Amino acid sequence: MKSHTAIASLIIASASATALAGSGSGDILLQDANSSATFNSDSGQVSWIVDGVENLFDQSFYFRRSTDTQEYRVDDSNLGLVGYFASDTNPFIDTNNDTFAALYEDNGLEMETTFTLRGGTNGSNTSSISELISISNNTNQSMTISMFQFVDMDMGGDFSDDYAAVMDANVVQQWDDSNFVSETVATPVPTLFQVGNQADLFDALNDGAITNLDGTASAGPTDIGWAFQWDITIGAGQSFLISIEKNIVPAPGSMAFLGLAGLAATRRRR
């Protein structure tokens, strides 16, 4: 069975760099070049600032075991927080923490989340965050669970008139005027997805009932949210890895470039 070696080895590896470790919840600030991101072991990611502009309100992960009657957010109240740490993975460039990892465990279900921020040059409006979610079954029986990623980004610092679309089963893009973000699930391809109003998606994942995403592929203009769902069975003593990459870049020159002219034409006056 898997032990808590991944986070422990990263703490050792980062000992020569700036490191912050703990066992209780709290805000963790990451900084790199023109970007900063704030995480909380109880509430997920709560900020992503690029060139002084806030682009994110909330990112959280949820899970549902086959025996559960609702989804639960990955936090200390639903999965016990074993510990967390932040470290600087490019100490020859700066002395800022740029990586945050947290480990949760409950009754043989273990989740380890790792986020790494990379900024661009000042004024470039570019930044990226790499995300790894490792789910381990530390029991002697197979375990079937559904994992959910919920994202509420407010591109360009406002939230009422964003658009978003799933471009492929594993790629979603969101934009507002010249502000643009793309997320790619490198592995594995999600089972289901949904794009829509963030409040509706948030409520669906927190309503105390079973939710499965409905496959809606585009929405806007609205306060956008999106979600991915993975339905997986993990063998006894085995692990499952989700790898995600988010990139904020200047928007492409036209909606037509994205193949979204039809969606753009639906924009209504506010």
Instruction: Report angle CA 188, 192, 195 to the nearest 5 degrees.
Output: 115
Domain 5-264 part of CATH 3.30.70.1450: no
Q: What is the pLDDT of residue 15?
A: 36
Place of tokens 């990586």: 99
Distances (CA, A) of 59 to 10, 18, 96, 231: 23, 25, 22, 19
Give the model confidence (pLDDT) of 96-125 as tens digits.
Answer: 999 999 999 999 999 999 999 999 999 999
Q: What is the pLDDT of residue 261?
A: 34
Q: Are 151 and 238 in contact (CB under 8 A)?
A: no
Q: What is the pLDDT of residue 251?
A: 81
Q: What is the rounded average pLDDT for all residues in the chain?
A: 87
Q: What is the pLDDT of residue 178?
A: 84
- Write the DSSP string, the chain: ---THHHHHHHHHTTTS-EEEESS--EEEEEETTEEEEEETTTEEEEEEETTEE-EEEEEEEEEETT-SS-EESSTTTSEEEEEEEE-S-TTT-SS--EEEEEEEETTEEEEEEEEEEE-STTS--EEEEEEEEEEE-SSS-EEEEEEEEEEE-GGG--SSEEEEEEETTEEEEEETTEEEEEEEEESPPSEEEEEEHHHHHHHHTSSS--------EEEEESEEEEEEEEEEE-TT-EEEEEEEEEEEEPPS-GGGGT-HHHHTT----
Domain map of the chain by residue range? Answer: 5-264
Q: What is the pLDDT of residue 45?
A: 96
Q: What is the pLDDT of residue 265?
A: 33
> Structure tokens of 137?
């079954």
For residue 199, give every residue at least 6 positions away whose Cβ sits within 8 Å of its Cβ, in sequence order, or none.
223, 225
Ranges of residues in the chain whose predicted pLDDT is under 50: 1-5, 7-18, 254-270
Q: What is the pLDDT of residue 208?
A: 97
Q: What is the pLDDT of residue 19?
A: 58
Q: How far is CA 144 from the centre of its chain?
A: 21
Q: What is the pLDDT of residue 140?
A: 97
